[in-house]
């Protein structure tokens, strides 16, 4: 895919595509909440990449951002509907409406719904116990020390024999595991992958700065000397970066410096860099990333947010009166050292 600026038209088309995915019907290839044997989410993303003209990685990241916002908005609604579902689920042992089925109908992540069910139905001792259940539901839920929270809100007759309670725990264990396995975006393995991706790009940033000979301190090093609210990298000497007026697609080689410049590009002083292994859409940047970056600017001076998967048009993003710059794809812009030398 050739390098070009991300236009407002492309950005709006990507937003519309993300919203259509979140509204997709259950049992369709593009359904983002429950994986099916015939799910084709990767193919859907690849097709949208060709149509919109943005990299697949950018569209997937943008979709995940929208997905997180959607899930937060839907959680209170799902909690209200959960009691009715559980009341029927407990009484009807052969009920075909499983946790995965309900998640698909509600357009809600199966993993998060299963977690909600366990939290309401099982008598657990704190968040740590809940985490252990979600890591290994069959082992924990079928253990001898598990007890259920069966009350009048869930069923009229709260008495169940030991065998009936055992059956409920067994069914719950099976369905929780199914929910974990069928969730394409939420759950322990996805959280681990996102953490791995974030660390990978932080390391990539450190390698680029090392290769350029720019001395810096990492977030871990800053924390060891008692500094709180730290960016990923604090430069030991401020540098100037030639910031483009709009995000550009990655160059063919990470060693290639940015050769194309616009008359509107400008030099920005940068004291720190924060690595973001995601696409910086307007809401993610303005609501979540910018307030954090603003605290860095107050403490360390002007800095740069590097969105590895691209970002929305720059004129839509808050910049703290110019103290917070935004770049995309790589650190390929020209760099001016304190001596005036340009890399």
Q: Evaluate whether 30 touches 41 at the Cβ level (below 8 Å).
A: yes
The per-residue pLDDT for 320 is 94
Task: State yes or no: pLDDT of 288 exceeds 70.
Answer: yes
Q: Which residue has the higher pLDDT, 290 or 254?
A: 290
pTM for the full predicted model: 0.88
- How many Cβ atoms from other residues are within 10 Å of residue 74's Cβ? 16
Q: Evaluate whether 141 touches 176 at the Cβ level (below 8 Å).
A: yes
Residue given tokens 């139905």 in the structure block: 121
| 57-93 pLDDT, tens digit each | 999 999 999 999 999 999 999 999 998 888 888 877 6
Q: Report the percentage of the chain scoring pLDDT > 90.
A: 57
Query: Alpha helix (H) ranges present in 156-274?
Result: 162-182, 188-212, 219-224
Task: State yes or no: pLDDT of 306 exceeds 60.
Answer: yes
Q: Looking at residues 215-226, what average pLDDT do you find? A: 90
**Strand 266-276 with 303-307, pairing:** parallel
Identify the bridge partners of residue 218 per DSSP, sorted by sequence position. Answer: 233
- How many Cα atoms sit within 13 Å of 186 on the Cβ side? 22
Beta-sheet strands, E only, within the chain? 216-218, 233-243, 266-276, 303-307, 324-328, 335-336
| 115-148 pLDDT, tens digit each | 999 999 998 888 889 999 999 999 999 887 788 8
CA neighbor of 106 nearest in space, from 52, 155, 34: 34
CA distances from 41 to 10, 18, 31, 169 (A): 20, 12, 7, 33
Residue given tokens 């895919």 in the structure block: 1
CA neighbor of 308 nearest in space, from 281, 328, 289: 328
The per-residue pLDDT for 133 is 92
Residue given tokens 């307007």 in the structure block: 282
Task: State yes or no: pLDDT of 3 exceeds 50.
Answer: no
Q: Looking at residues 217-240, what average pLDDT do you find? A: 91
């Amino acid at each position: 895919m050739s390098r070009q600026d991300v236009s407002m038209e492309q950005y709006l088309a990507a937003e519309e595509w993300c919203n259509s995915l979140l509204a997709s019907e259950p049992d369709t290839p593009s359904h983002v909440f429950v994986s099916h044997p015939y799910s084709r989410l990767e193919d859907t993303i690849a097709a949208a990449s060709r149509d919109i003209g943005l990299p697949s990685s950018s569209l997937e990241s943008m979709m995940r951002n929208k997905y997180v916002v959607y899930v937060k908005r839907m959680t209170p609604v799902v909690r209200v509907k959960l009691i009715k579902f559980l009341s029927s689920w407990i009484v009807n042992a052969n009920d075909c409406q499983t946790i995965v089925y309900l998640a698909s109908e509600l357009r809600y992540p199966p993993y998060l719904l299963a977690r909600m069910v366990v939290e309401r139905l099982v008598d657990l001792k704190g968040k740590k116990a809940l985490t252990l259940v979600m890591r290994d539901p069959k082992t924990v839920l079928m253990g001898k020390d598990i007890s259920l929270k069966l009350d009048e809100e869930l069923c009229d007759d709260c008495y169940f024999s030991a065998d009936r309670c055992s059956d409920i725990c067994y069914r719950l264990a099976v369905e929780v595991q199914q929910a974990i396995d069928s969730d394409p975006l939420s759950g322990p393995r996805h959280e681990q992958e996102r953490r791995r991706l974030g660390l990978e790009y932080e390391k990539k940033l450190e390698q680029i700065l090392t290769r350029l000979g720019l001395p810096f301190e990492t977030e871990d090093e800053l924390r060891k000397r008692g500094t709180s609210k730290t960016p990923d990298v604090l430069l030991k000497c401020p540098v100037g970066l030639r910031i483009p007026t709009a995000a550009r697609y990655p160059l063919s080689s990470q060693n290639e410096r940015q050769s194309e410049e616009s008359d509107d590009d400008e030099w920005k002083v940068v004291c720190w860099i924060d690595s973001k292994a995601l696409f910086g859409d307007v809401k993610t940047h303005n609501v979540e990333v910018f307030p954090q970056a603003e605290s860095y600017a107050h403490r360390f001076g002007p800095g740069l947010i590097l969105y590895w998967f691209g970002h929305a048009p720059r004129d839509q993003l808050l910049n703290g009166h110019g103290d917070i710059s935004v770049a995309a794809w790589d650190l390929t812009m020209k760099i001016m050292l304190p001596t005036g030398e340009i890399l």
